[in-house]
């Protein structure tokens, strides 16, 4: 009796892994210097313009379902991820409505294709509590990429793994 049940559990785990693998897709374009895995077909790239044209990513049609803004940051030699976060917190994050300071202000070490530190915080947007997570991934002594995720707090349990997958898979071409 136990053997068929165990076989069924193994089959379900393998089927889940295959479905997950089929849903992910590698995203890259000729005009960008990175690539990353998008965890589901719902994630799509949106061009945005500030001084330059950038790609941002949204999960579905509503940014509160998941939003990613990627930026390359060139810094003075020996700048650390906690210093980058302190700067961003002072000049950007504290201006967000209902901003709540990060849960780990020194960051949590993160190891993927590129390593770095991750910081978390909360704020309010449109009456919804939002969760923010910034991965500062270090390329060399002077270059970081920031992956800034935002998602509605109530969507966090289902999105945490997707954020980590995207940051884990981020790499330069």
Q: How many contiguous H segments (helices) and E segments (strands) does the chain have?
A: 3, 10
Domain boundaries, the chain: 25-172
Instruction: Report whether 47 contacts 55 (CB < 8 A).
Output: yes
CB atoms within 10 A of CB 64: 18
Instruction: Report whether 73 contacts 145 (CB < 8 A).
Output: yes
Give the tens place of pLDDT for each residue, 26-58: 998 888 999 999 999 999 999 998 888 889 999
Give the tens place of pLDDT for each residue, 92-142: 999 999 998 765 577 899 999 999 999 999 999 989 999 999 999 999 999
Per CATH, the number for 25-172 is 3.40.1000.10
């Amino acid at each position: 009796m136990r053997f068929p049940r165990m076989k069924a559990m193994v089959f379900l785990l393998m089927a889940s892994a295959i479905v997950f693998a089929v849903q992910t897709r590698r995203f890259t374009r000729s005009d960008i210097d990175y690539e990353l895995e998008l965890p589901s077909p719902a994630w799509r790239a949106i061009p945005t313009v500030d001084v330059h044209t950038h790609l941002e990513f949204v999960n579905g049609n509503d940014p509160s379902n998941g939003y990613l803004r990627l930026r390359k940051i060139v810094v003075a030699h020996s700048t650390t991820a906690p210093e980058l976060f302190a700067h961003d917190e002072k000049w950007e994050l504290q201006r967000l409505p209902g901003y709540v300071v990060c849960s780990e202000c020194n960051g949590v070490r993160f190891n993927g294709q590129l390593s770095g530190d991750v910081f978390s915080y909360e704020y309010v947007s449109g009456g919804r509590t939002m969760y923010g997570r910034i991965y500062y991934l270090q390329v060399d002594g002077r270059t970081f990429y920031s992956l800034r995720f935002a998602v509605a707090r109530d969507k966090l349990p289902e999105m945490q793994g997707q954020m980590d997958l995207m940051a884990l898979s981020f790499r330069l071409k």
